Homo-oligomer: A and B are copies of this chain.
Amino acid sequence: MSQLFTINHSDKNTSARTGVLHTDHGDIPTPCFMPVGTHGAVKTQSSKEIVELPSSILLSNTYHLYLRPGTEVIKKAGGLHSFMNWQGSILTDSGGFQIFSLEGYRKITEDGVTFRSHLDGSEHHFTPEKIVDIQRIIGSDFMMMLDLCPPGDADHETWIDALNTTTKWAKRGMKHFRETEPIYGYRQVLIPVVQGGTDKKLRKKSAEELCELEADAYAIGGLAVGEPKSEMLETVEWMDEFLPEDKPRYLMGVGTPADLVENVSRGVDMFDCVMPTRNARNGQLFTIDGKINIRNAKFKTDFSPIDENAISPMSKIYTKAYLHHLFKTEEILGYRIATQHNLYFYILLMKTMREEIQKETFGSWSNIFLTRYNQRS
């Protein structure tokens, strides 16, 4: 089997590096940002528009797809790629995070987690093995292990328990993964999730235990769940130390444009976050000078593009004033333009970082970027 990950260039002054993820659905230059399509669709965007951003990978959610449309439909469709007509790569989150965030009933045992659907209250049981099976049916290129992610303010004992369970589940998940085959003929990679909160010893323990599994990629979970930003960054720094250098690192659910820059600098290769799509629906747009809200009255007669420095296909043809009007009249076209702009901004930011790393100018560039971006944010 061909190599999953090639590192092209490692920055001399930071832990930033460029590389390529090789999947059977194409190559993905890293560091990369993965647009989020929880239900098998990136909010308001067509598959074609995601390709044109350009993005060659998107993220979906095992738990949500399991409930709707269900594995039977996805299997009949020939997998999620075919169902949503997406030729690029797909990473599916396990949905463990969503299940543990459910307000309603859920019960965690040694075996797995029992929960009620947030849609109809029906009871379901997920095990590390079942999560692999579902993702075999979905056919994601990158499958996530079932992990246990406590809330950011959980106590030390809870973090230790979560870590131990996560390790046990990861061993079972990896065993089952290695005993099963992809359904659709192309390679799938199973990614364990390092837990341990913001405790260095726990993070080290979790990383060491999961590294024994010799997975092809590693995810950093349990961050961006309410902890101070400085602690998140410090934790990612430790992970840079504890995780194998030659394998891709995926920082789950992070973050703002500034977060992406800070964490690329700390050696992260893959990101996902709902922020560009979710904030777009509230009229919040990312620009190189920080965030703006297009609903603000000052944009009523501003006929300039959304961001002169990040011209998405749609912001090439529509002005701030028109977008302001669309938000005021609640026209869906407004959400489309805003979503595309924000995704484009994120994707362009990743591309810029790859170029700066390649040119050995990442350190100075990131200082300038962060100063300019944070000034107004």
Q: State in angstroms the CA–CA spacing of A301 and B48 once bound together.
A: 23
Q: How far is the CA of A85 from the CA of B40 in the complex (A)?
A: 31
- Report the nearest B residue to A300, measured CB to CB: B73
**A200 sits at the interface (CB 8 A):** no
Q: Using Cβ atoms and an 8 Å threshold, which residues of chain B touch A303?
A: 76-77
Q: Hey, which chain B residues are within 8 Å of A317, CB to CB?
A: 47-48, 85
Which of A153-161, A252-260, A322-330, A356-364 lies at the binding interface?
A322-330
CA distance A321 to B69 in the complex (A): 9
Give A334 Cβ to nearest chain B Cβ, in Å: 8
Nearest-neighbour CB distance to chain B for A1, whole angstroms, equals: 31
The reply to whether A333 and B73 form a contact with Cβ atoms under 8 Å apart is no
- Chosen A-B contacts, 6 in total, with CB atoms closer than 8 Å, are A44-B332, A69-B321, A69-B324, A69-B325, A77-B321, A85-B318
Binding site for B on A (CB under 8 A): 39-41, 43-48, 64, 68-69, 72-73, 76-77, 83-85, 300-301, 303, 314, 317-319, 321-322, 324-326, 328-329, 331-336
Given A331-B39, A332-B332, A332-B335, verify A76-B46 contact (CB < 8 Å): no
B69 x A333 contact (CB < 8 A): no
B39 near A322 with CB under 8 A, answer no
CB distance from A280 to the nearest CB of B (A): 11
Query: A336 near B44 (CB under 8 angstroms)?
Result: yes
Whether B43 and A332, one on each chain, are in contact in the complex, defined by CB atoms closer than 8 angstroms, is yes
Residue of B nearest to A318 (CB): B85
A358 to chain B, nearest CB (A): 34
A339 to B, closest residue via Cβ:
B332
- A127 to B335: give the CA distance in the assembly, Å: 36
User: Which residue, of A301, A326, A333, has the highest number of chain B Cβ atoms within 10 A?
Assistant: A333
How far is A64 from B44 in the complex, measured between Cα atoms in Å?
Answer: 25
- Residue in B41, B46, B321 whose beta carbon sits within 8 Å of that of A73 in the complex: B321
Nearest neighbor of A314 in chain B, beta-carbon distance: B46
Distance between A118 CB and nearest chain B CB, rounded to angstroms: 12
Task: Write the chain B residue with the least CB distance to A38.
Answer: B329
Q: Could you say which of B47, B314, B322, B328 contacts A83, with CB atoms under 8 Å apart?
A: B322
Q: Which listed residue, B43, B83, B301, B326, touches A321 by the CB 8 Å rule?
A: B83
How close is A225's CB to chain B, nearest CB, in angstroms?
25
Interface-central residue, A40, A76, A85, A332, by most chain B CB under 10 Å: A332
- Whose C-beta in chain B lies nearest to the C-beta of A328? B68
A64 to B73, CA, bound (A): 43
With a cutoff of 8 Å between Cβ atoms, the chain B residues found around residue A336 in the complex are 44, 46, 332, 336
A325→B39 contact, CB < 8 A: yes
B69 and A328: CB pair below 8 A? Answer: yes
Assembly CA distance A215 to B73 (angstroms): 58
Please name all residues of chain B whose beta carbon is closer than 8 Å to the beta carbon of A43 when the two chains form the complex. 331-333
CA distance A318 to B321 in the complex (A): 33
Report the minimal beta-carbon distance from A17 to chain B, rounded to whole angstroms.
35
Least Cβ–Cβ distance between A320 and chain B, in angstroms: 11
**Inter-subunit contact B329/A39 (CB<8 Å):** yes
Contacts of A73 on B, CB cut-off 8 Å? 300-301, 321, 325
Q: Decide if A329 touches B68 in the complex (CB within 8 Å).
A: yes
Closest Cβ neighbor of A46 among chain B residues: B333
Partner of A40, one of B44, B47, B319, B325: B325
